[in-house]
Amino acid sequence: MSKQINVALIGNPNTGKTSVFNALTGLNQKVGNYPGITVEKKQGICKLPRGVKAHIIDLPGTYSLNASSLDENVVIELLLNKKDKDFPEVAVVVTEVENLKRNLLLFTQIKDLEIPSILVINMSDRLSHSGISLDIPALEKAFNTKIALISTRKNQGIDELKTLISNYKELSKEPCLDATTIDAEYFNNLKAAFPNQLLYKLWLVITQDVNFGKTDRKEIEAVTKFKTKTKTDLKRLQQKETIKRYQFINNALKQGQTIDHEKAKGFRYKLDRVLTHKVWGYAIFFLILLTIFQAIYDWASVPMDMIDEAFAFLSEWTKSSLPSGAFTDLLAEGLIPGLGGIVIFIPQIAFLFLFISILEESGYMSRVVFLMDRIMRRFGLSGKSVVPLISGTACAIPAVMAARNIENWKERLITILVTPFTTCSARLPVYLIIIALVIPDERFMGLSYQALTLMFLYLLGFGTAIFSAYILDRILKIKTKSFFVVEMPNYKLPLFKNVAITVLEKTKSFVFGAGKIILAISIILWFLASYGPSDEFNNAESIVTEASENKNLSQDELDQKIASYKLEHSFIGIVGHAIEPAIEPLGYDWKTGIAIVSSFAAREVFVGTLATIYSVGNDEVESIKDRMAAEINPKTGNAMFNLASGISLLLFYAFAMQCMSTLAIVKRETNSWKWPTYQLVIMTIIAYTTALIAFQLLK
């Protein structure tokens, strides 16, 4: 059997590169980060003809090898470093039929690196719709390569692509054109100084500010010192190179491409006029959001009820089937309720990812970014800041990473600092359980009050982020300007396979990421709630039984009193009562305080913590929602989770940082503990103050 070959998947953003990656690898893929940096690394395994396996690495989208962001640097660093374990034996450059001219610039640059390269022309199903016809043999001759004309939507051409990859040794390494003619004298001198080096690689090393990893440092330093031209001269040469490449591409496409421009315009332009309209665009976006949040509630109710009942049954079965003792109590009162408190929200979280994925796949999300830029500029943010803010609805961590696409440091810093205000999926379980407890399950004109409340919280987070950016813009005295460029991809029907893989991977990442934390915290909390240091805990049964006010209680009521007394005098009860004075003005008791403190590990832990605390010593088989609804505040005699305390909690979590992973990423991105410390302190003050005012007004 042949050895595994490395295949680099390269292309401009919005060419369908992810679709090609999914078509080649299916579910046999994993996502991580490049060593030492927070840029997403997707890789997978593809089975090729004759038993060959390909290790496919999906590189970040880039428009050219003239890097302007960290994502693009990653591409150049890999392609210039033959010592890298992922250096490709073959590059698969993905283009798409409607933007072929622009996409081909990158292909001609990669060919100059003498890496065997396959040109993939994606979305072939749109050829007739766009009024485009291609002469593939003519294009193959012009670009000196093999071309795979594919449609990932219709699963056409994928087998032919796999065959081309397996036969990569037959591909020509000859460049498409001689780019050195832009300044023959300079390049001849460069070649004379480094006769054993590839000329275009030398040119990239001189003009790019990149890290070359394991490449010989002395060799790189020697080349970079060969700067007989100023930065301005080098920039001018880069521009000449780009013009020369486009001249070559234009001549090649004259032979191999025909476009009916009238047919190519049509539907997209009409739809753009409506979706990016300065009035109707916002109204449509608002209606789409409203529909999403309504669906999250209506569609997820049945599977959520089933999951709730299943975990209640599992807890009961564990207590009745296993021998009584500490291990059984740990399972039935600690692990199962704690995990159940998160698993129950899988349907709603999956639906949220489903809708976000559909909006991205269809091309609509780019229109939202363009639309929101009109607002963002007034608040001192770059239009590119919309991408982190919108992606923050999934998770703040990759959203903070996405801010690296913002070239201006101060604008990037403001974006990083305000992004955690946007409502992420980790807040969703907290919102959903509190909303279910304190907001009536009624409708107004067919719209659920609960869905409207959820949408309000999302809009509140986004609005607070923008307002905070406005304040920071004034404080940090940002004077620099940047240009906002966003690509409007073509509209297309979302590909079911892409959407399904995205929903599965994102939901799995959320559940397993939260699950590991909750598993550990559930064990710790159960131990702290099941044991205590004092005589009050050890003698709880006799103390409660002998109390005069408990003489006439039934056995079930007495057991409940004993369990409650033990919990108050357990380790966790002592800690809870210690912090209670600080949170009591917000309408919370010591149990809620413990949940808030433990949720600093991850916001979604809040629900799992309460599920564990309320389960300890509780023989009643109830859902977490039922247990929270039945909780009484002993000082007021009212329900613990009422409108005043519920709104207070919702606002606290809307503004609080409550996520140490996000703080760690902010530290990494800003290279300082100063900014995450400011972030934590200021967001906590805002959260506490807002929650305090809300409770005092509503109680």
Residue 104: per-residue pLDDT: 93
Residue 119: per-residue pLDDT: 95
* Sign of the alpha-carbon torsion through 541, 544, 548, 553: negative
Instruction: Check residues 489 and 146 and name the one with the higher pLDDT.
Output: 146
Query: Does the pLDDT at position 39 exceed 80?
Result: no
pLDDT in tens, 597-616: 877 766 777 777 777 676 65
> What is the C-alpha separation between 491 and 269, in angstroms, rounded?
10
| Residue entry with tokens 């003792």 | 325
Backbone angles phi, psi at 208, to 5 degrees: -105, 145
Query: Does the pLDDT at position 37 exceed 50?
Result: no
In the structure encoding, which two tokens stand for residue 103, read together?
Answer: 């996409």
Alpha helices of 322-441 — where are they, by DSSP H? 326-329, 336-343, 346-362, 364-376, 386-391, 396-402, 409-418, 428-438
Tell me if 87 sits within 8 A of 78, measured CB to CB. Answer: yes
Residue 68: per-residue pLDDT: 66
For domain 1-259, say whether CATH 3.40.980.10 is its number: no
Instruction: Check residues 622 and 79 and name the one with the higher pLDDT.
Output: 79
pLDDT band at 8 (very low <50, low <70, confident <90, very high): very high
> What is the C-alpha separation between 545 and 551, in angstroms, rounded?
7
Region 281-303 average pLDDT: 81
Query: Does the pLDDT at position 117 exceed 90?
Result: yes
Query: Does the pLDDT at position 440 exceed 70?
Result: yes
In the structure encoding, which two tokens stand for residue 577, read together?
Answer: 């009562």
Residue 213: per-residue pLDDT: 47
Residue 1: per-residue pLDDT: 43
Vertex 236, ends 223 and 182: CA angle to 5°? 75
pLDDT in tens, 546-586: 776 767 777 777 776 777 777 778 888 888 888 889 989 99
Instruction: Check residues 208 and 165 and name the one with the higher pLDDT.
Output: 165
Residue 510: per-residue pLDDT: 67
Domain borders along the chain are: 1-259, 511-698
pLDDT in tens, 81-102: 888 888 999 999 999 888 889 8
Q: What is the mean pLDDT of the chain?
A: 81
Q: How many CB atoms lie within 10 A of CB 622?
A: 17
Residue 460: per-residue pLDDT: 93
Query: Does the pLDDT at position 217 exceed 60?
Result: no
Instruction: Check residues 141 and 620 and name the one with the higher pLDDT.
Output: 141
Region 540-549 average pLDDT: 77
Highest mean pLDDT out of 16-20, 482-486, 687-691: 687-691
Query: Does the pLDDT at position 620 exceed 60?
Result: no
Share of the chain above pLDDT 90, in %: 19
Query: Does the pLDDT at position 680 exceed 60?
Result: yes
> What is the C-alpha separation between 619 and 557, in angstroms, rounded?
11
Query: Does the pLDDT at position 646 exceed 60?
Result: yes
Region 350-372 average pLDDT: 80
pLDDT band at 251 (very low <50, low <70, confident <90, very high): very high
Which pairs with CB-CB distance under 8 Å and at least 24 residues apart come from 451-454? 451/290, 451/293, 451/294, 451/296, 451/297, 451/298, 452/290, 452/293, 453/650, 454/293, 454/296, 454/297
Query: Comparing 377-381, 493-497, 646-650, which segment has the lowest mean pLDDT?
Result: 377-381
Residue 648: per-residue pLDDT: 94
Dihedral angle of Cα 106, 109, 111, 115, to the nearest 10 degrees:
-90
Share of the chain above pLDDT 70, in %: 84
Query: Does the pLDDT at position 313 exceed 60?
Result: yes
